Structure 1
Amino acid sequence: MTAEVRLVREADLAAWFETVDVAFGGLRESAERAAWWRSVVEPERALAAWDGGGIVGTAGSFSFGLTVPGGAEVPAAGVTLVGVLPTHRRRGVLTQLMRRQLDGVRERGEPLALLTASEPAIYGRFGYGPATWELRMAVDTVRLAAPEPPGADGVRLRLADPVAALPECERVYAALVPGRPGMLARRPGRDRQGVLDPEGERDGAGPLQCVLAEVDGEVRGYARYAVKPGWDDAGPCGTVQLRQLDALDPVVHAALWRYLFGIDLTSSVVARGRPVDDPLPHLVADQRRCGLGLREGLFVRPVEVGAALAARTYRTPVDVVLEVADAFCPWNAGRWRLSGDARGARCERTTDAAELALSVRELGSAYLGGCTLTALAGAGRVRELRPGALAAASLAFGSEVAPWLPHGF
């Protein structure tokens, strides 16, 4: 079918959100979370697919700044609220929405599009590749000793109201953004996402709590968490549900974990969405007791290959000709010469012979340095056309710190 895809008018926003709810199973969000979504949505970036006078599909995006290797903040479209009614699936509606959306991203001059995927298998055909991974931990705080780093006793901890402490927590977060690829420069209003705490979403846990870590009167870290009580025949076995933990130095990071280990009436800390290089597993004696798991986080799609590759730096000098396939955004297809180092880069069209061949999806996966071109080549998704080109480019694309998306959108 061919639906009519157009921007949402203010008068259509209620119907637009209604369609999102139905597309995601019909569960209503809490009034608190729904109000927050409505406060941050950008109507000028909200698309609807119409059929017979009603909305049958939705796609929105946020205007973000994404940290890339080298520390630059690159404009990016954060794709969100994508859904199609069950009556209109497998009829091309999603493809129409993605087509219109990526054309709009290009028109705005944003070289990258980003998303987190509820169904990852959908988005590869539109050029999105998984680019960050996140660590899940279920830490046994009974069998593991708490971290005891030198200097931790000099960190003062105090409980604070999560909402009232937002400005102090945001200063910590903002200081960390330039140092890690994948982090997002938060726009006004987005900070409140971290303190949303609808009672109906607590799943038996208590209210959100916040602990601030201070050194010489300066807040240098924080943790937001909730406690879910539990009891068995042996006594209390509650769970600390960690929502966020950010710290400006290793001592503060360890001190916050030591605090979480010591919360009364609990026997574990569950943390989701942590960076894969989180220090915690290296602060304890037995990593197996950390219950580690891994899943993909952020998906990246270069919308303008030349601008995207030139916007980041490279860990080692690189000079390579890439043959890029991109059926959905054909302006990216063809040969590009990428040359750069830790100081900067250029990426321009060329007629020189290709040395590596890959699709835009693989470029997205490798872009932030969390997935190696060598690994993608092992899966047959990158082809080396000149001996030695793969190893050199793979090393250059790497990142000293693991890329990480700290929150969804």
Structure 2
Amino acid sequence: MTNELRVLADSEWTAWWTTLDWAFGGLPESQEEQKLWRDLTDFGRSYGVWDAGQPVGTLGTLTMAVSVPGGAVLPVAGVTMVSVAATHRRQGILRTMMRRALETYRESGEPLAALTASEPAIYGRFGYGAASQRLSADIDIHRVTLGLPPGADNITLRVVDPADEAERCEALYARLVPTRPGMLARGPGWERLPLLDPRQDRAGASARRCVLAERDGELLGYARYALKPEWEPAGPRGTVLVRDLDAAEPAAYGALLRYLHGIDLMSTLTLDNRPVDDPFLHMVSDVRRARLRVTDRLYLRPVDLGAALAGRTYATDVDVVLEVSDGFCPWNEGRWRLSGGPGGAVCERTADAADLALPVAALGAAYLGGTSLRSLAAAGRVEELRTGALGAAATAFGSTVAPWLPHGF
């Protein structure tokens, strides 16, 4: 083999990106989208594998930050744009790129790495666990009514071009980030992502619009959406496609939902990516007519295990020794004492007897509080070594709100 791993150079971007495009089916992204990801890519920590002058493997890195239980926002390395050419499968290319990337993230001081998986079966062996889920719904507008929270009638709604109020919407989004684990803090450049709306990706839908929810001039919520009009002999059966829906209070959320639910000539309201505890579940009259679907979303893996576990708070006081296995990042292997609670935590190496034994991917899954350690134990992923330790740790790791990744990367 002549495979060569090297850091991505700016001059190599086009060939590198073309390889990625073909790995995902050969339909090129718009120039607007490609430019966005190029601008956000951390070239010094992105990699390609080359064979005879041609790229045959890609792995990109985005410098990001994610909210964790307790409201802190921690640095996280975003792993993205991962591919291996079909001609070079089973040659260890992905393993080589992933190992180099994780070593680099450790050197850079990120406690966590994150990704969204096109094929979930791939990433468990590299220590990633499914830490959040996405809820999608197709609500039958004609058969489902809404019960709205008090104050919804006092909200003023205004439809605008998304770009015209992007700055105010970004400021509201930033306020919401610490309130729910798994949300990404959007740094400079990321504000372009919610506005990305290439015509070729609309699949018959309209350009994106934005409705604002305000009270006395204060922005309390917004929704970005598109309309997909369709007709049948009996009449219209269009779809409202909701891309983003963020609100700072229940009244604003309810007013936005009512607006989206009531647009003329539409039969279906599609919410594509919502938290699994989204409030619409308690506002619809018939949840079965919402046709719910839940899928995996954000995958996390501790890079610096001690810093990751000390970086979040815990629902109750906890003092537990974890025996962690991590064959891919051996610096995380061994016993760690986690001591903390709602006010903060410390996680350090210890020689004390272990209370729980688990692989690092299980910790990644449980980290944001959306996956229970007890559930993982029932699947054989966590072993209780001291009676009572599992229940106490599972309660402490839990979150009062479900983790949620608002958008991909």
Q: Same fold (TM over 0.5)?
A: yes
For residues 346 and 105 of structure 2, the distance between their equivalents in structure 1, rounded to whole angstroms, comes to: 22
Partner SS for 2:263: coil
Residue 321 of structure 1 aligns with which residue? 321
Cα deviation for residue 234 of structure 1 reads 2.1
Given that 2:2 and 2:52 are in contact with CA atoms closer than 8 Å, whether structure 1 keeps it comes out as no
For residues 284 and 132 of structure 1, the distance between their equivalents in structure 2, rounded to whole angstroms, comes to: 23
For residues 335 and 384 of structure 1, the distance between their equivalents in structure 2, rounded to whole angstroms, comes to: 14
**Further displaced range: 274-283 or 14-23:** 14-23
For residues 109 and 257 of structure 1, the distance between their equivalents in structure 2, rounded to whole angstroms, comes to: 41
For residues 42 and 147 of structure 2, the distance between their equivalents in structure 1, rounded to whole angstroms, comes to: 43
Residue 134 of structure 2 aligns with which residue? 134
Residue 5 of structure 1 aligns with which residue? 5
Given that 2:146 and 2:285 are in contact with CA atoms closer than 8 Å, whether structure 1 keeps it comes out as no
For residues 199 and 45 of structure 1, the distance between their equivalents in structure 2, rounded to whole angstroms, comes to: 31
Given that 2:129 and 2:361 are in contact with CA atoms closer than 8 Å, whether structure 1 keeps it comes out as yes
Partner SS for 1:390: helix
Q: Is 1:105 paired with 2:105?
A: yes
Residue 55 of structure 2 aligns with which residue? 55
For residues 50 and 366 of structure 2, the distance between their equivalents in structure 1, rounded to whole angstroms, comes to: 36
Residue 92 of structure 2 aligns with which residue? 92
Residue type at the aligned position of 1:29: E
Residue 247 of structure 1 aligns with which residue? 247
Note the residue ranges of structure 2 that are not aligned, 5 or more in a row: none
Cα deviation for residue 8 of structure 1 reads 1.2
1:327-351: CA deviations, max 9, x gaps?
Answer: 0001101000111000010111111
Given that 1:5 and 1:100 are in contact with CA atoms closer than 8 Å, whether structure 2 keeps it comes out as no
For residues 114 and 368 of structure 1, the distance between their equivalents in structure 2, rounded to whole angstroms, comes to: 12
Percent identity at matched positions? 58
Residue type at the aligned position of 1:231: W
Cα deviation for residue 35 of structure 1 reads 2.1
Residue 74 of structure 1 aligns with which residue? 74
Number of positions where the alignment pairs a residue of Structure 1 with one of Structure 2: 409
Residue 44 of structure 2 aligns with which residue? 44
Note the residue ranges of structure 1 that are not aligned, 5 or more in a row: none
1:294-319: CA deviations, max 9, x gaps?
Answer: 00110000011111001000000000
Residue 408 of structure 1 aligns with which residue? 408
Residue 31 of structure 1 aligns with which residue? 31
Residue type at the aligned position of 2:196: L
For residues 134 and 53 of structure 1, the distance between their equivalents in structure 2, rounded to whole angstroms, comes to: 40
Cα deviation for residue 42 of structure 1 reads 2.0
Partner SS for 1:177: helix
RMSD of aligned Cα (Å)? 1.0
Partner SS for 1:163: helix
1:119-141: CA deviations, max 9, x gaps?
Answer: 01000000000000110100111
Residue 267 of structure 1 aligns with which residue? 267
Residue 64 of structure 1 aligns with which residue? 64
Residue 356 of structure 1 aligns with which residue? 356
Given that 2:148 and 2:251 are in contact with CA atoms closer than 8 Å, whether structure 1 keeps it comes out as no
Residue 202 of structure 2 aligns with which residue? 202
For residues 27 and 267 of structure 1, the distance between their equivalents in structure 2, rounded to whole angstroms, comes to: 31
Residue 215 of structure 2 aligns with which residue? 215
Partner SS for 1:184: coil
Residue type at the aligned position of 1:204: G
Residue 394 of structure 2 aligns with which residue? 394
Given that 1:2 and 1:92 are in contact with CA atoms closer than 8 Å, whether structure 2 keeps it comes out as no
